[in-house]
Amino acid sequence: MAIFKGAGVAIVTPMKENREVNYEKFGELIEFQIAGGTDAIIVCGTTGESSTLTHEEHLDVIKYCAQKVAGRIPVIAGTGSNCTETAIYLSTEAEKYGVDGLLLVSPYYNKATQNGLYAHFKAVADSVKLPIILYNVPSRTGCNIAPETVVRLCKDVENIVGVKEASGNISQIAKLAAMADGCVDIYSGNDDQIVPIMALGGIGVISVLSNVAPRETHDICAKYLAGDVQGSLEIQLRAMDLCDKLFCEVNPIPVKKALNLMGMEAGLPRMPLTDMEPANAAKLEKAMREFGILK
């Protein structure tokens, strides 16, 4: 059974002016997501700035999220690393906090072979009992998880159940869906490809857009899963310009700016990421107004 179906938010980690984690605002963002119909919360992923959190902060943020959500919707913890031992440590600790699943990004910088990826993910999965979603984002990691490797892992390792596909390569995702024959839960990792990937058998999205438009992102998935393909497509196409502007600078720079424009006080990202360029911020604000999430 899938960890979740529908729209899971890749939630931001709000920061204070001194760049410490702002737990008060984080709690407000979690409540905003649940009230907006989000189907799952993915904490400490790329959007949550996991790469610049210390291990202690990383685990504290996961623990806080699990406690705040308190079982109302699934919580999936990002615990991947380019070091297998670190990924095992983060994963086994997160399991203690009562999260519902783990998201494991492919090892970055190392550029492992496909056999190396298999060994890495299997070692982490064998250290926990939680269901695991792999995360394929070669534009950030420099390493693509081949469809053959995803299918092999899902067939060989009981608690590896799916993949967040953010390669942007629809042909590769189609090949994966054909090879998987239903044994892989496929989630879109790109907000502009939710409907196309669901058309290939995907069951939802792990979304940046959901941070600012939780109801609409939920509805894209819910309508598709209910058979209202046209209704789903209409929202997907209406959101395309906003999706574009949310990625006109590296994630999570634009989405934090968007939340700040909404009065949600997400703060600035940690360096080496910086505040959004004014010209791009103006375009983002315009797209948000046109979409209807700013008045």
Cβ neighbours for 269, distance < 8 A, ≥ 6 positions apart: 15, 49, 252, 253, 256, 275
Catalytic site residue 23? Answer: no
| 8 Å CB contact between 34 and 235 | no
CA distance 204 to 219: 11
Nearest CA to 108 out of 81, 131, 87, 134 is that of 81
Nearest CA to 246 out of 213, 277, 211, 209 is that of 209
Identify the active-site residue in 135, 223, 224, 257. 135
C-alpha 219, offset from chain centre: 17
Query: Which contacts (CB < 8 Å, 24+ apart) does range 224-232 have?
Result: 224/194, 224/195, 224/198, 225/5, 225/6, 225/198, 229/195, 229/199, 232/195, 232/198
Identify the active-site residue in 63, 164, 223, 256. 164
Tell me how far CA of residue 36 lies from CA of 40, 110, 124, 260, in angstroms: 11, 38, 33, 18
Please give the full DSSP string across 156-173, using - where no structure is assigned: H-TTEEEEEE-S--HHHH
Catalytic site residue 135? Answer: yes
- CB-CB neighbours of 178 under 10 Å: 12
CA distance 62 to 66: 6
SS3 100: coil
Q: Which residues are catalytic?
A: 135, 164
